[in-house]
Chain A
Amino acid sequence: MAAAPNASARPGDGGSASAEPLLVVDDIYKQFETPEGPVIAVDHISLKVMPGEFLSVIGPSGCGKSTLFNIMGGLLDDYQGRVSVAGETVKGPHASIGMIFQEESTFPWRTVIDNVAFPLEIAGMPKAERHDRALHFIDLVGLNGFERRYPAELSGGMRQRVSMARTLASEPKILLMDEPFAALDEQTRLLLGDKVVQIQQQLQQTTLLITHNLTEAVQLSDRILVMTYRPGKTKRIVEIKLPRPRSSEIVGSDAFGHYVAQIWNDLREEASRGLKDDESRRAERRR
C-alpha cells in the first residue's frame, strides 16, 4: 500500500516525471459572499493532472468540491489563481474539457442518439456523420438498442450513461465528472464504475472525478486528493497502487480495504467538523 503523506506527495506530484501535466490547477482561491458573511469555498488548492491519469477529489459535503469542479470547467469566474490545459489558460468553458454533472442532465425532448450527437450538431457535423459517431459512443457506454428511446423511458443509470456518451462524443482531452453516480443505488454505482474504468482505459482519457464516495474513488483512481472541510484545502494526496485493469471485484480485496480505511481516517476528522458546523448553524437558526 502506498499512501503519500503531505510531505512526500505534494499536490501535483503524480504521473511520470518526464511527461508534462495536461491540466494544471494553480493556487485557486474562491470566496462567496453570503448573508452570513464571506465563505471561503476553495483555499489555495493546486494540482497537476498527467495525460491519461484518473484523479479523484474527495471531501465532506460542503467542502468546495463542486466549486472547484465549476472553476476547472470554466463555469465560474471571479476567482484567484489559474487553471490551464496544456499550457493554455482556461477562461470560460474550454473545448478540451468535457463535463459530466451530478444532476440528471439529458435533454428529455431528444432521443438517446440525438442527445449523444448534440455536441456534434453544435459543431456543425452533417446529420448522417454525427449519428454514426454517436452510435460509436452509445456502443461504448453499452446502450445499443436504446438509440431511439427518450430519456423518460430509461433508468437513472442509463440516463447517466447517455450524459457520459454525450460528453465523450465531444472528444474532450479531459473529462470532469462531478459525483456522476450520486443519485444511483450502490450496485448500479459499482457497475457503472466498471464501465468508467473500461472506457477510461480504452480511450486513455484523462479524468478528474469529484466524489464523496470512498469506494468509488479508490476503485477508479490513480490518485486521490483529500480535501479539508471549509475552507476547502488539500489535506493530502494518496496514490492508489492497485493493479489495472480494475473492476468492482477489487472492492473485496484487502489492499482495497486498506486504502479505504486510510482515506476514511483523513476524511472522518473533516466530516465530523462538517457535521458539528452544520449542527451549530442549525441551532443558531433555531435561536
Chain B
Amino acid sequence: MSTPSKGLSEFVAEATEILDTLAQDLLTLDERRGEDVDPDLLNGIFRAAHSLKGLAGMFGQDRVAQLAHRSEDLLDRLRLGKVELGPAALDGLIATIDVFQALLAESARGEASPEVTQRSQALADHLLRLAEGAPRAPEDPLAGIGLDPGVRAVLTEYEEHRLRENLKKGLSLWKVRAAFDLSDFDQRLQEVNAKLKPLGEVISTLPSAEPGAGTGIAFDLLFGTRRSEDELRAAVAAMPVALQRIAQAAPPSTASAPPPQGEAAAAPARPERRKRKRGTSRATGTPPIPERSGPAEPALEAAEPTLPAVDEESAALAPVTPLPTRTPPVTPKPELDASLRSLTQTVRVDIRRLDALMNAVGELLLTRANLQRLAETARMGGVHAISKLWAQELHRETRQLERKLDELQKGILDVRMVPLGQVFDKLARLVRRIARSAGKEIDFVITGGEVELDKLIVEELSDPLMHIIRNAIDHGVEPPEVRVQNGKPRRATIALRALQQGNHVVIEIQDDGPGIDLARVREVAIARGLITAVQADEMSVRELQNLIFLPGFSTARSVSQLSGRGVGLDVVKTNIANLSGIIDLHSTPGQGTLLSITLPLTLAIIRALVVSVSGRTYAVPLNSVLEILSVESSEIRTIERREVVTLRGQTLPFVRLCRLFGLPEVPLKRHYVVVVGLAQERLGIAVDELVGQQDIVTKPLGGRLQHVRGISGATDLGNRRTVLVLDVGALVEEVLAPERRADFI
C-alpha cells in the first residue's frame, strides 16, 4: 500500500465534496420523478460530473475520469434535450455514485482493484449506450430570430440550448441591462436574479464590454419568461435595470445604463450563489422535459451495495482514547491577497489537527484545575493580608482563564461537528436500492439531517446504521401483498430521525413492520445454543429482545443478500458501544420496531463521574451513566449466584467494584449504585463514595497495562493525581457474560 501524496488526498477530498453534491442532486431529481425537470438542477448535476472529470484528469485518476466522462456525456445530452430523461438514465446515473465512491476509496488507499475497475468499466459502457439511445430530432428555432451576434458569440452550447428551449415554448425573450457599482455588483446582481427567477429563466449573464464610468459595471441578462411586460417591469421596478424585448432582427442594444444605486438593501449574496451553483433552486415557467420510458436496456448489475464492510479491527472492542497527536506535514502556501480568499464558507480541516488542538485544550484544562487548587490553598491557608490579596487576584485570573477555556473548547468542538445528513443521504440511496432488489415498497423518511455530531462519530456511525436499516428492510418490512392482507398500507415506512437532547444526540430507526417475533427469537437462540430452554423461560421480554444482539444470532431463514452477510446486530452493538452509545429497542407485535441510539456529541473531552472504592479513586465516563441509586444492603438479592437489585420492577444486574478489582471491602450499610448502560445492556456498579464530576481527557495506558480489562485509560484530575478510567463496556461484558471471558484479572 503506497502512502497517498498530499496532492492525492486533496483530490480525494475535493472529489468527495463534488460527489456529495452530485448524489444529493440526483436524489432530488429522483424524488421528483414524473415532474417537470428543473433545468438548473439538471445543469448542476452536469456541472458536478464535469468538474469531477476535470479534477480526476488533472490528478491522473483515469478510472474516475473515464466514468465521470461517460456520466458527463449522458448528462450533457440530457440537458441539451438530445436524450430524454427516463428511469433508465436516472438509474444509470444514480448507480455511478457508489462506483465513484468505491473508486475514490481505492484512490485514497493508493490501490486499484480489478473488480472495481471492471464494475466501473461496465457502468461506463452502460452510460455510453444510454447516451446513444433515443436521439431526438434536431431543430433550430434560434435560426429564426435575429439575436445580436455579439451576444450569441459568448453563449456556450448549453446556454444556446436553453435559449432554444425557451423560444420553442413560445416564451418571450428579454435583454435585461443592469448597472452597478463595481464594489458590490455581485450582491446587487443576486438581488436582480432573485426577482427574475420566479418569473422565468436567466439564460446568461454577460458582463458588458462597454467600459463602465470609472467604477461601474453593467450586465446584460438574457431572460426568458411567459409573463407579461407589465409583470416583468413591476418585478424589477426598484432595481437599476433597463428592459429590452429581443424581437426578430433586433438591433444591437443601445439602451443606456441607469446610474448605479448604492443604497439598496444588501442581500447575502454568497449562499444565493452557492445555491445556484448547486442547482437546487427551482425555476418556474421553464419548459419541462417530459418523462418517458427509456429504451430497453440490459440489466444493470453494477448496482451492488458498496458501503464499506465492517472490518474486524474496527469492530473489536477498543477503549475510546484520543488519537495520538500527529501533526501532518504542512507546506505553507504563498500568501495571496486577502480578497482572493476562497468563496466558500466551509472549512475542511484535517481531523488529526483538530485532535492535536483538542489535546492542547485538555492540557489547559488541567492547568486550570491546578491553578484552582493553588488559589484555593492560598485563600484558605494564607495568613498575611498581602498573600490574601494575591490569592484573590489569582482567583480572579483563574476565573478568567476558565471562561476563555470554555470558549476555546466550545469553538473547537464546533469545528469538529458535521451534520448527520452526510450519512443519511448515503443511507437513502441504499434503501432505494435494497428495497427495489428485495421487492419491497418503502417510503424512507428522514428528519433531523441537520443535527450535528462529532465528525469521528458520524464517520463511525455509517456502518452500524447501514446494518440496522438493512435489518429493518429485511426483517422489519413485510412484502406489499402481506401488508395489504394485514390491513396495512401497501407501502411500508422506515423513518430515520435524529434529534439533539442536551449533550446527546438520539438517532431513531422506526419501521411499521411486524415487530420482533419473540417466539422465533427464543427458538433460534436455543437452537444456536446461545441460551438453554430453562434460561429462556426465566427471561423477560426485554431480555428476549436483546438476544438479537448476540454474536451468531440471525433469524433470517435463509442467508439473504441483504442482512445475511455473516455480520449481524452484534457488530452494531459493538460499534455503538465503542462510541459510548446506548441502544434502546421497543417492538410492538404487528405494529413495528423502534430502535433508538443515544450518542454523546463528542468523545474528545468527556465528563466523568469520579467515584471512590476502598480508598481508591476511579473515573466513570458520564456518557454511560444513566442514573445513580442509593441501595440498602438488604435490597441486594442473589439469583443464580449473581447479585441483583430491583429497579422500578425490573431486575438489574449488580456488581461491587471492590470485588471485581479484588480490593479490600469496606463494610457499608448503604451502597451508591452507578447504573451504566452500554448499547442495550444495563448494569449497576456499587461504589463507596461519589466524589464529583469533572471534564477529563483519557490517556491510553502504555506497556503491559494496556490490555488490562475494565480500564480504558488514565486521566489526571488536576491535583496531580492520576486515576484510572473505567471501561464501562468491558465491565458490562465481563459481568453479564463471564462465561465468554475467562481472562479477567
The answer to whether A and B come from one shared complex is no
